[in-house]
């Protein structure tokens, strides 16, 4: 067996994409996983024409010069859909070869970007009301000190902005709690019918004020599930409240219930609670992103109605904990449907 054949067989056994560069700065061997990254015809070519990316090429050149192990980044894909690799470069002592292996760290890169985006979003959401409060405090301390009418108007706006910050902080704390508990499956038995009845009773004053009629279509018979009653109340309060706010004045909100011995989404006994409004609907391109933190289909309207952009993210995490699903469907001008799918506790029934 030739040295080249042995080298090829050796790196073929490695789980990571790996290639070897020789003293002549050419690719001596690569395994099938590396072929997917750099192409099947890389053997025999100069490493610069194979790797191409300047940061990695520079790292390879330095390793060939001083035999010092190094790490570099290698990125493939289109903008917004990149795959990021951590590349380890290490020389094979006495053989004059450089081993280059690629480890996919895309999930780490995405997690880091999500953290940065989250901090930026929180900062932005808090900065706007804080700026307003600071401006009004300065005005009330100076030019409007003795203007009773302006003082009352400014204090009203300040109360609104302070309430907005309070809601945001409350939702951030709630999101933190549900994320921490997401992998802990609830074990308490909950009557979902009772949760829905409490939700509608609590939100009825808001519906009356908005001239919206809540139309529940479910019976009084118990719907037992394993869950956290407070978290489920939070889910349905959020969804029904959104339907009241965004469905439009004078239009009804339907709350429908359907049980199944084998729900297709769960492949097990389940219950579907659908909250259906008859408002302007949601454009299709928004729907896949609605459960992202701080994502809003209509920024101006959401803020005007007191939304924090975190409600559906909280709903998603709570349903994940309950092994449930959230299905959103909508057409412009035809309203929006938010369907919560939860597993039934068949032992209790």
Ordered DSSP codes for 92-137: ETTTTEEEEEEEE-HHHHHHHHHHHHHHHHHHHHHHHHHHHHHHHH
CA 313/CA 183 separation, integer angstroms = 16
CA 154/CA 159 separation, integer angstroms = 9
Tally the residues of the chain. 349
Residue 253 and residue 336 in contact, taking contact as beta carbons nearer than 8 Å: no
Mean pLDDT of 167-183: 85
Q: What is the DSSP letter of 2?
A: -
Residue 335 has pLDDT above 70, yes or no: yes
State residue 283 phi and psi, 5-degree precision.
-65, 140
Residues 6+ apart with CB under 8 A from 13: 31
Q: How confident is the model at residue 348 (pLDDT cuts 50, 70, 90)?
A: low
pLDDT at 341: 95
Token pair 């349903």 is at which residue?
Answer: 319
State residue 67 phi and psi, 5-degree precision.
60, 25
Q: Is 219 helix (H, G, I), strand (E, B) or coil?
A: coil
How far is CA 59 from each of CA 63, 70, 89, 108, 211, rounded to the nearest angstrom? 6, 7, 8, 22, 67
CA 335/CA 128 separation, integer angstroms = 31
Residue 252 and residue 213 in contact, taking contact as beta carbons nearer than 8 Å: yes
pLDDT at 346: 63
Residue 270 has pLDDT above 60, yes or no: yes
Q: How confident is the model at residue 328 (pLDDT cuts 50, 70, 90)?
A: very high
Q: How confident is the model at residue 299 (pLDDT cuts 50, 70, 90)?
A: low
Q: Is 210 helix (H, G, I), strand (E, B) or coil?
A: coil
Residue pLDDT, tens place only, 14-59: 899 999 999 899 999 999 999 988 888 888 999 999 998 999 999 9
pTM of the model: 0.67
Residue 1 has pLDDT above 70, yes or no: no
State the helix-helix crossing angle for 229-247 and 311-321, rounded to 10 degrees.
Answer: 150
Q: Is 212 helix (H, G, I), strand (E, B) or coil?
A: coil
What are the beta bridge partners of residue 327? 339
Mean pLDDT of 67-90: 86
pLDDT at 211: 93
- What six digits make up the tokens of 68? 């010092």
Percent of the chain scored above 90 by pLDDT?
45
Spell out the alpha helix ranges (H) of 182-214. 192-209
More confident call, 116 vs 100? 100
Rg (CA), the chain: 29
Residue 113 has pLDDT above 90, yes or no: no
Q: How confident is the model at residue 347 (pLDDT cuts 50, 70, 90)?
A: low
Dihedral (CA of 247, 310, 199, 265) sign: positive
**List of long-range contacts for 105-113, beta carbons under 8 Å, 24+ apart:** 106/82, 108/84, 109/82, 109/84
Residue pLDDT, tens place only, 221-262: 889 999 999 999 999 999 999 999 888 888 999 999 999 999
Residue 134 and residue 161 in contact, taking contact as beta carbons nearer than 8 Å: no
More confident call, 160 vs 226? 226
- What six digits make up the tokens of 77? 């894909």
Mean pLDDT of 114-131: 78
CA 39/CA 37 separation, integer angstroms = 6
Q: Is 24 exposed, middle or buried (0-12, 13-18, 19+ CB in 10 A)?
A: exposed
In which region does residue 219 sit, left (phi positive, over 0), alpha (psi from -120 to 50) or beta (all else)? beta
From 90-94, 117-121, 272-276, the region with the lowest mean pLDDT? 117-121
pLDDT at 2: 45
Residue 294 has pLDDT above 90, yes or no: no
Q: How confident is the model at residue 307 (pLDDT cuts 50, 70, 90)?
A: low
pLDDT at 302: 59
From 179-188, 298-307, 339-348, the region with the lowest mean pLDDT? 298-307
Residue 214 has pLDDT above 50, yes or no: yes
Percent of the chain scored above 70 by pLDDT?
94
Token pair 């790490």 is at which residue?
Answer: 71
Residue 310 has pLDDT above 60, yes or no: yes
Residue 318 has pLDDT above 90, yes or no: yes
Token pair 């080298």 is at which residue?
Answer: 7
Residue 324 has pLDDT above 80, yes or no: yes
Residues 6+ apart with CB under 8 A from 52: none
Mean pLDDT of 263-276: 92
């Amino acid at each position: 067996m030739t040295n080249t054949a042995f080298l090829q067989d050796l790196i073929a056994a490695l789980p990571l994409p790996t290639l070897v560069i020789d003293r002549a700065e050419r690719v001596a061997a690569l395994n099938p996983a590396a072929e997917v990254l750099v192409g099947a015809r890389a053997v025999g070519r100069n490493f610069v024409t194979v790797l191409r990316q300047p940061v990695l090429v520079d790292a390879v050149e330095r390793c060939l010069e001083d035999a010092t192990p190094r790490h570099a980044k290698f990125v493939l894909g289109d903008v917004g859909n990149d795959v990021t690799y951590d590349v380890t470069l290490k020389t094979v002592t006495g053989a004059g070869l450089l081993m280059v292996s690629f480890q996919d760290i895309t999930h780490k890169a995405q997690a880091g970007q999500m953290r940065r985006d989250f901090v930026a979003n929180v900062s932005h959401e808090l900065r706007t009301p804080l700026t307003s409060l600071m401006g009004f405090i300065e005005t009330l301390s100076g030019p409007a000190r003795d203007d009773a009418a302006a003082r009352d108007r400014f204090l009203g706006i300040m109360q609104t902005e302070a309430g907005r910050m309070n809601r945001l902080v409350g939702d951030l704390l709630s999101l933190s709690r549900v994320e921490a508990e997401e992998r802990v499956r609830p074990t308490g038995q909950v009557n979902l019918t009772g949760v829905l009845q409490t939700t509608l009773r609590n939100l009825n004053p808001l519906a009356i004020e908005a001239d919206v009629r809540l139309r529940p279509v479910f019976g009084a018979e118990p719907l037992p599930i394993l869950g956290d009653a407070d978290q489920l109340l939070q889910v349905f309060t959020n969804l029904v409240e959104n339907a009241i706010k965004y469905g439009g004045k004078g239009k009804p909100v339907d709350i429908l219930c359907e049980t199944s011995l084998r729900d297709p989404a769960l492949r097990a006994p389940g219950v579907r609670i659908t909250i259906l409004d008859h408002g302007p609907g949601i454009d299709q391109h928004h729907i896949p992103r609605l459960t992202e933190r701080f994502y809003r289909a209509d920024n101006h309207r959401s803020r005007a109605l007191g939304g924090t952009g975190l409600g559906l993210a909280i709903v998603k995490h709570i349903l994940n904990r309950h092994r449930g699903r959230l299905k959103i469907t909508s057409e412009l001008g035809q309203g929006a449907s938010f369907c919560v799918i939860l597993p039934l506790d068949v032992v209790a029934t």
